[in-house]
Amino acid sequence: MKNMFRKFAAMVATASGSPWAFLLAFLVIVVWAITGPIFNFSDTWQLVINTGTTIVTFLMVFLIQNTQNRDAVAIQLKLDELLRAVEGARTSLVDLEDLSDEEILRLKKEFERLRRREVAMSPDAEREQLEEANPERNVGVED
C-alpha cells in the first residue's frame, strides 16, 4: 500500500505542477464564472466552486507533503554522502536534521564565529566577497 501511495503521490505532484494542470484549473474557473449569470449567481453556484476547491486543496496537501518528505530525505542522504566523502569535513553534521533547535542554533553561531575569524585573518578575502556580491557598486572604482 505504501509503495502504491508513493507512486500515486509522485505522479499527482508531477501532474499538478504541469502547465496543463494550471490550464485545466483556469478553465474550470472560467466555466464556473461564465455559468454565474445562468444560475443567477446563486448560493448553490458559489457552493460548487467552494466545495470543489476545498476538497482538491485538502487532498493535495497530503500528496504534496508526502512528496516533499521523500525529497527532503533524499536530499539529506545525498548531503550526508558528500560530507562522508569529503576529507576534513565534519561527519558529525551528517544527522543535523535530528538535532534540537538549541543545538542547531549553537552550531549556527559556531559557523558565524568561524566565518568572522576567517574574514579577520584575510581582509582581502572579505573585500573580494563584497565585490562579487555587489558588482554594481564597483563600477568606475579603481584599485
| Residue 16 contacts residue 60 (beta carbons within 8 Å) | yes
CB 96 within 8 A of CB 79: no
Q: Which of 37-41, 75-79, 107-111 has the highest mean pLDDT?
A: 37-41
* E strand map for 13-89: none
Write down the domain spans for the chain: 2-94, 99-136
pLDDT tier, 135 (very low <50, low <70, confident <90, very high otherwise): low
Please say whether the beta carbons of 10 and 2 come within 8 A. Answer: no
Taking the C-alpha atoms of residue 112 and residue 48, their distance in angstroms, rounded to an integer, is 53
Question: Quick check: 83 and 90 in contact, CB under 8 A?
Answer: yes
pTM for this one? 0.59
How do residues 36-67 score in pLDDT, each as one tens digit? 999 999 999 999 999 999 999 999 999 889 88
pLDDT band at 143; cut points 50, 70, 90 = very low
Tens of pLDDT, residues 15-26: 998 999 999 999
Please provide the DSSP assignment of 13-60 as one string.
Answer: HHHHTSHHHHHHHHHHHHHHHHTTTTTTT-HHHHHHHHHHHHHHHHHH
Three-class SS state of 22: helix
Q: With cut-offs at 50, 70 and 90, classify the pLDDT of residue 132.
A: low
Pick from 46-55, 115-124, 134-143: least confident: 134-143
C-alpha cell at 109: 553561531
